[in-house]
Copies of this chain bind each other. A is one copy, B any other.
């Protein structure tokens, strides 16, 4: 989980759709593939990327594999955005104060 891999993972439309779907409820590979315009192996490959990025976890259920969103991974991204946001705001603060006189 190189902490940045998650950004690259979410940068793909298919993977983003998968994450959005898994946010609703945990799902098996076939279920996901049925709602997406790509083949099942493609979904498998994307899930592999998402898993190594720490964004999803999986567990076996018979012949099926149930994937679910990993809240920890999502939280890590959110925290990073929070940092960016806070720093950008403080920059704004400084600028507007400079421009006051």
A residues sitting closer than 8 Å to B (CB atoms) are 4, 7-13, 16, 19-20, 22-26, 68-71, 74-75, 77-78, 81-85, 87-89, 91-92, 95
- Specify the chain B residue showing the minimal Cβ separation from A26: B91
Of the candidates B69, B78, B88, the one whose C-beta lies within 8 Å of that of A68 is B88
Tell me which of B9, B16, B87, B88 contacts A4 (CB under 8 A). B16
For the complex formed by this chain, how many copies does it contain in all?
2
| Residues of B with C-beta under 8 A to A25 | 91
Q: Check A8 against B13 for contact (C-beta < 8 Å).
A: yes
- Asked, given contacts A4-B16, A78-B81, whether A88 binds B23 with beta carbons under 8 Å apart, the answer is yes
Q: Report the nearest B residue to A85, measured CB to CB.
A: B74
Residue of B with least CB distance to A92: B71
Other than A4-B16, A69-B91, give 4 A-B pairs with Cβ distance below 8 A: A7-B10, A7-B16, A24-B91, A26-B95
A87 touching B7 in the complex, CB below 8 Å, given contacts A78-B81, A78-B82:
no
